[in-house]
């Protein structure tokens, strides 16, 4: 396994490694990303070689060159004159992409922004031009938009809670009043400064409801949960985990209940077909999907996380998700079955 970045200089890594052996799988992630490391280990167990690159260290720590000559394309990664051969790549995992092109030495803010845009454009274009990519960057960007996810889920026949996304307080009150059992609200994006859990609308929220004008918010009918589902999809493979909460903190967001139980479960054929249809529509090969099941047994789609975490369910529910990703990245899975 090769890890290229500021915490493990690629030049030093390459001097200790056999650089004549081509890399089989490229993973774009932080060097200490445990999900990337887990999948890389499974790839090594299968005889493959992995290179983990942190996009935030491009081009300060490592460089990438693509040559288009005589009808052929040649690609390689270098650092301080040492080179990694990418000519026989079998798969690419777009795990997490952090900002590239950081250039603090450039004083002009507009120029720094231009440099960052150029680096991002090249790296993402490079990734999209390769075969066997999980997930294609452009597809993942679009699939991450929650308003789009919900629309696609309805189109493929999945149930969703009654939902309103708006910045208008005048719309929020009548929508919430029309719902039996109350409503929850949540952000469309994550925040770097705090954990943004799903919350129930109560008296405190109504005091501050005018602040909803600042940014759009998701408002949904609150579903009284019997249990939750985290369903992880890797191409044609589907790994379902049942999450049961017991603490009141987990009533609206299972992540807040540290006593929750996790166990593997089966996916009903109709739900399975709907999930595969959603993945095809979103153009994704990997996704971590959240569902809530009410007391009547109705399953409601909540969201799809194209770069979602999976190790917690792999460990606690004993599901071989890392192995499935390794097989897909090495081209060992029959992609003709994808979406079946």
Q: What DSSP line would sit under 45-78, residue for residue? A: HTT--EEEE-GGGTTTT-EEEEEEETTEEEEEEE
17 pLDDT exceeds 50? no
| CATH at residue 267 | 3.30.470.20
SS3 category, 291: strand
Q: Which domain holds residue 172?
A: 162-221
pLDDT at residue 6, as a whole number? 41
pLDDT at residue 332, as a whole number? 83
Same domain, yes or no: 18 and 124: yes
pLDDT at residue 1, as a whole number? 59
pLDDT at residue 333, as a whole number? 64
Same domain, yes or no: 307 and 189: no
The answer as to whether 136 is a domain residue is: no
- Categorize the per-residue pLDDT at 129 as very low, low, confident or very high, splitting at 50, 70 and 90: confident
Strands 50-53 and 183-186: unpaired
Same domain, yes or no: 125 and 188: no
pLDDT at residue 19, as a whole number? 53
pLDDT in tens, 263-310: 999 999 999 999 999 999 999 999 999 999 999 999 999 999 999 999
The answer as to whether 148 is a domain residue is: no
Q: What is the domain count for the chain?
A: 3
256 pLDDT exceeds 80? no
The answer as to whether 191 is a domain residue is: yes
Same domain, yes or no: 33 and 105: yes
Same domain, yes or no: 208 and 261: no
| CATH at residue 169 | 3.30.1490
Distance CA 48, CA 326 (A): 9
37 pLDDT exceeds 90? yes
C-beta neighbour count of 195 within 10 angstroms: 9
104 pLDDT exceeds 60? yes
Q: What's the pTM?
A: 0.86
150 pLDDT exceeds 60? yes
Out of 188, 206, 221, a domain closes at: 221
The answer as to whether 192 is a domain residue is: yes
pLDDT at residue 334, as a whole number? 58
The answer as to whether 178 is a domain residue is: yes
Same domain, yes or no: 7 and 65: yes
Same domain, yes or no: 207 and 284: no
Q: Pick from 286, 275, 287, 288: which is nearest to 340 by CA?
A: 275
The answer as to whether 27 is a domain residue is: yes
Same domain, yes or no: 300 and 332: yes
Q: What burial letters (b/e) apply to 44-74, b meaning 16+ CB within 10 Å?
A: eeeebbbbbbbbbbbbbbbebeeeeeeeeee
Same domain, yes or no: 73 and 107: yes
pLDDT, greater one: 311 or 61 = 311
The answer as to whether 11 is a domain residue is: yes
The answer as to whether 146 is a domain residue is: no
């Amino acid at each position: 396994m090769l890890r290229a970045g500021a915490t493990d200089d690629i030049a030093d890594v390459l001097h200790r490694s056999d650089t004549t052996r081509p890399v089989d799988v490229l993973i774009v992630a932080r060097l200490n990303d445990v999900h990337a490391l887990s999948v890389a280990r499974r790839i090594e167990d299968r005889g493959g070689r992995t290179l983990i690159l942190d996009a935030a260290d491009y081009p300060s720590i490592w460089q990438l060159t693509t040559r288009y000559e005589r009808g052929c394309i040649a690609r390689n990664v270098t650092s301080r004159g040492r080179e990694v051969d990418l000519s026989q790549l079998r798969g690419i995992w777009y795990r997490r992409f952090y900002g590239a092109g950081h250039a603090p030495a450039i004083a002009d803010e507009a120029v720094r922004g231009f440099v960052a845009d150029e680096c991002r454009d090249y790296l993402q274009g490079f990734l999209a031009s390769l075969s066997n990519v999980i997930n294609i960057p452009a597809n993942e960007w679009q699939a991450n938009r929650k308003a789009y996810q919900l629309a696609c889920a309805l189109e493929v026949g999945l149930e969703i809670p009654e939902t309103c996304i708006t910045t208008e307080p005048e719309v929020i009150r009548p929508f919430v009043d029309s719902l039996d059992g109350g409503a929850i609200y949540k952000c469309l994006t994550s925040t770097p400064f705090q954990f943004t859990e799903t919350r129930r609308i109560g008296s405190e929220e109504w005091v501050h409801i005018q602040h909803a004008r600042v940014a759009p918010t998701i408002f949904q009918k609150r579903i009284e949960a019997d249990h939750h589902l985290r369903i992880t999809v890797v191409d044609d493979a589907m790994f379902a985990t049942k999450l049961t909460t017991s603490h009141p903190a987990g009533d609206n967001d299972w992540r807040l209940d540290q006593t929750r139980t996790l166990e593997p479960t089966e996916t009903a054929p109709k739900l399975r077909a709907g999930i595969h249809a959603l993945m095809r529509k979103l153009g994704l090969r990997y996704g971590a999907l959240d569902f809530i099941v009410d007391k009547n047994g109705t399953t409601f789609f909540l969201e799809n996380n194209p770069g979602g975490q999976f190790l917690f369910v792999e460990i606690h529910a004993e599901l071989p998700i890392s192995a499935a990703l390794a097989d897909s990245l090495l081209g060992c899975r029959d992609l003709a079955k994808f979406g079946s």
